[in-house]
Structure 1
Amino acid sequence: MTSLKSQLLARAHAEGFDVVRVTTPDAIPQAPERLKTFLDQGCHGEMGWMHDRADQRGAPLALWPEVRSIIMLGMNYGPDSDPMAGLADPSSALISVYAQGDDYHDVIKKKLKGLGRWWGEATGLPLKVFVDTAPVMEKPLAAAAGLGWQGKHTNLVSRSFGSWLFLGSIFTAAEVEPDEPERDHCGSCRACLDVCPTAAFPAPYQLDARRCISYLTIENKGPIPAEFRPAIGNRIYGCDDCLAVCPWNKFAVAGHERKLMAREGLRQPRLAELARLDDAAFRTLFARNPVKRIGRDRFIRNVLIAIGNSGDTDLVGEAEALLEDNSALVRAMAVWALSRLAPQRLATHLDRRQGESDADVLGEWRRAGLAAQEPFLL
C-alpha cells in the first residue's frame, strides 16, 4: 500500500491539489462532544442542518461504516492582494476571497471524482467523495491528517499556505497508512480574535456563528440584527478578516487554479452598480459562483447595509429606489440605509410607510423614526 500511497500523492497533485494526507476515521474522538457543546449553546444559529445529522458529523464511521481511511486534500486559493485593502473604500463592496471565482464545490468535486475513479480502480474497494456538502467535519479531519491545525479562529491554518486551503475528502474502504497530525503553532498570538469586527469569538478556539459576519451575510435568511449592521462595513458576502491577519500568511502564495481566481467584476465592485441588480442580472453576474445560492434579495439586503455604512450621499438615490422593491427584506434594509445616509430624505417617503404591511419593514420605520426624532414616525 506504501507504493499505492505514493501513486495517490502523485495523482492528487496532477489533479491540482496542493497537499494530500491520510487519517483514520477514529482520529477525532473529541469532535462529538465539542460539536454537542456548540449546538447546545445555540451557536449554530439558523444552520439547522448541523443539528439534524450531528451524530454522523461527529463520527465518520456513523456516516459510512465501511470507511477505513480518510484521504484529506487541500487546494490553495490564496489571494493575489490584501483581502482587507478594500475596507478603505466604503463605496465599494467586499466579497470574500473564496467567492470571487467559480464555485469551489463544483471545481473541487470534479477533481475529487476524477481522483476517486482512479483510486477505486487501483484498490478495487468502494469510496465516497465529499466537499463541504455532507456531514463531515473537514477541518478537524484535516488537522488530524496533518494538512494544518485549527487556529484560534477555528479555521485551518497551514504552515505552507496560511489560511487559504479549500478542503475535500475521500472516504475509502482501503487501509492506507495514516500521516501524523500537525501540532498547533498559534502560540500566544491573538490577531484573529482581536480583529473580528463583531466579537464572534467568545474564547480562543470557540466561534459563535450568530455574531460572525460570514454567517450573518450568508446563512442568516432574515433581517440582520441591527446591533451588527454598522460593524459589517462594506462586507457584502462573507468576511476574511480573521483569515487575512494570520501571521502564517507570510508563507502563503497566490492560488493557481484559474477557475478559482477572482473575476475582475467581483474585485471590489461598486455598491451603486450592485444595488441596481434585478433577479436576472444577479443570476448572470453570479453564474457558477457561490454568491448565487443566497439569492438576489438577501444579496441586496447586504448591499444596502454596506450603503448605509458608506457615508456616501451619492448612494442615497440607490437606497430610495429600493424602498418600493418587491422584497420586504430589501425594503426593510432600504429604510435602514436611508436613515443612516439621509434621515430627512427618508421622512419625505412617509407614504411608503403608511402603505406597508410587513412587520420587519414597519419595525425599521419605527427604528428610523426614533433615530431621526421624527414624531410622525414614532
Structure 2
Amino acid sequence: MVNAAEIALLKHDLAAEAARLGFAACGIAPAAENPQMSVRLEQWLGEGRHGSMEWMENRLDHRRSPQGLWDEARSVVALGMSYAPARDPLALAQVPDRARISVYAQGKDYHDTVKKALKALARWLVAEAARRGLGAAGVKVFVDTAPVMEKPLGQAAGLGWQGKHTNLVSPAHGSWLFLGAIYTTLALDPDRPGEDRCGSCNACQIACPTDAFPAPYQLDARRCISYLTIEHKGPVPLEFRRAIGNRIYGCDDCLAVCPWNKFASSAQAMQAFLPRAELAAPSLAALLALDDGAFRSLFSGSPVKRIGRGRFVRNCLYAAGNSGDGALLLPVQALLHDPDPVVAEAASWALGQLCA
C-alpha cells in the first residue's frame, strides 16, 4: 500500500534537491496523454509549420504523451534552469558590424549542464524512493533531444504557461528557462497547471521581424529566424534575409520583450550559461574569416557548433549584407568562390546588398 505521507514528503524533498542542483523551477505533471495537446500538435504538423524538422512527425506517437514514449511512466518531474541574461538581448540590434547570437548559445552547451543535473536528481530520486520503502523507482531523463513536449509538460507541472510566442513563461523567471524532464514510475501527486497570464499583451507578436505568428499561441517555424538560422539547410528564402538583420544564430526578440522578464534575475542563472566574452558581441569581419578548423575551435562546447561552418558563415553573410558597412566588402568578396555553394551564393547576395 502506498504511503501517501511519505510520497508527499519525498516530493517536498525532491524540490529542495532540485534547487540544490541548480534548477530554478520544479513541478510534477501526470504522464497520461493530454488530448488537447495532441490535437494541437497534429494540426501544427498537418499544416507543415514544422518546416524541414521531419523528426517532429516521425515520432508523433511518442510525442503525444510521456506514456506514449514509455508506457511505465506514471509521473513527470518537469524542471527549469535559468539562463536569464544580465544585459538587454536587443542591445546589439543597432550595431551592424557586430553579430547577434541568441542568449542561450553564448555560454556552454545547455544540453550537457542540464542533463548532468537531471541525472544526479534522478539518482537521488531512485535512492530516496528505496530508502523510504516506496519500492524500485524507474527513471528516464530527457533534455531537448528526445520526442518530449517539454513546454506543455512544464505548463502541466505548474512551472508557467505557454505564452503567445509558444514558449514557456514563468511568473518568477520570465522567458529564460532551459527545460528538462524526468519520467518516473513513481505516482507523485501532480501540481496545479500553470495559468495563462498573457492577458491582452501582444508585445511578442509585434516584435517578430518575420511575422512568424499567424495567430497568438501559434508559430510557423518556416518564418522564424531561429529556425531559419539554425535548422534550415540551404539558402534562406530571399523574403527573410533583410529581416534577419545581424542575427547569426537564433533570435531572442519575442522573448526579450515579454513583460514577465522584469521578474527574472541574472543572479539566478547558472555559471555555465554566462556569456563567453568572445561570443557576446563578436565582430562580423572576424566570423567571416573562419575556416572549418577555426570555427570548430571557437565554438567548442557551444551549441552553435552543431550547425557547422557552412550554415554559420551563410548566416554571417546575410548579416554582412544587411550591415551597410563598406569595411565588410573584402571579407565578403573572399567568400564568393567558397567550396560550399550555399556560402558562395550568400556572399554574392551580400555583395549585391553592400554595393547597392
Q: Which TM-score band applies after superposition, normalised by the shorter structure?
A: over 0.9
Higher relative CO (Cα under 8 Å, sequence separation at least 6) belongs to 2
Structure 1 residues 155-234: aligned runs within 5 Å? 155-234=167-246
Rg: which structure is higher?
Answer: 1
Corresponding residue for 2:26? 20
Alpha-carbon distance, 1:177 to partner? 1.0
| Residue aligning to 1:318 | 331
Read off the aligned partner of 1:11 and give its amino acid letter.
E
- Which residue pairs with 1:152 in the alignment? 164
Structure 1 distance, partners of 2:303, 2:225, is: 16
Structure 2 distance, partners of 1:87, 1:296, is 23
Q: CA deviation at 1:257?
A: 1.1
Query: Which residue of the partner structure matches residue 141 of structure 1?
Result: 153
| Residue type of the alignment partner of 2:247 | R
Describe the superposition over 1:13-59 as per-residue Cα deviations: whole angstroms up to 9, x where unpaired.
11110110001012632111111110110000000000100111122
User: Could you tell me how far apart the structure 1 residues matched to 2:332 and 2:236 are?
Assistant: 17
Equivalenced residues, count? 343
Task: Report the counterpart of residue 340 of structure 1 in structure 2.
Answer: 353
Question: Matches of residues 248-263 of structure 1 in structure 2 within 5 Å?
Answer: 248-254=260-266, 255-263=268-276
Aligned match of 1:112: 118
Question: Where has structure 1 moved over 6 Å in runs of 4 or more?
Answer: none
Paired with 1:166 and 1:28, the residues of 2 have a C-alpha distance of: 22
**Structure 2: which amino acid aligns with 1:32?**
S
Partner of 1:266: 279
1:63 to 63, 69, 76: 69
Give the counterpart of 1:51 among 47, 52, 57: 57
Q: Partner amino acid for 1:309? A: N
Structure 1 unaligned blocks of 5 or more: 344-378
Encode CA deviations 1:75-113: one digit per residue, 9 max, x unaligned: 110000000010010110000000000000011001100
Deviations 1:348-374 (A, max 9, x none): xxxxxxxxxxxxxxxxxxxxxxxxxxx
**Shift of residue 10 of structure 1?**
1.2
What amino acid does structure 1 have at the position aligned with 2:294?
A: A
For 1:27 and 1:75, the matched residues in 2 are separated by 25
Indicate the SS of the match to 1:30.
helix
Instruction: Kindly report the root-mean-square deviation, in angstroms, between the aligned alpha carbons of the 2 structures.
Output: 0.8
Q: Please tell me whether residue 78 in structure 1 is matched to residue 84 in structure 2.
A: yes
The aligned residue for residue 344 of structure 2 is 331
The letter for the 2-side match of 1:339 is G
Structure 1 residue 102 corresponds to structure 2 residue 142 = no
Tell whether the 8 Å contact from 2:33 to 2:64 is kept in structure 1 after alignment. no
Q: Distance in 2 between matches of 1:101 and 1:246?
A: 22
CA contact (8 A) 1:217 1:302 kept: yes
3-state SS, counterpart of residue 76 of structure 2: strand
Residue number in structure 1 paired with 2:41 = 35
Which amino acid letter does the alignment assign opposite residue 348 of structure 2?
A: V
Percent identity among equivalent residues?
58
Aligned counterparts of 2:34 and 2:197: Cα–Cα separation in 1:
19
Residues 160 and 170, structure 2, Cα contact 8 Å, conserved in 1: yes
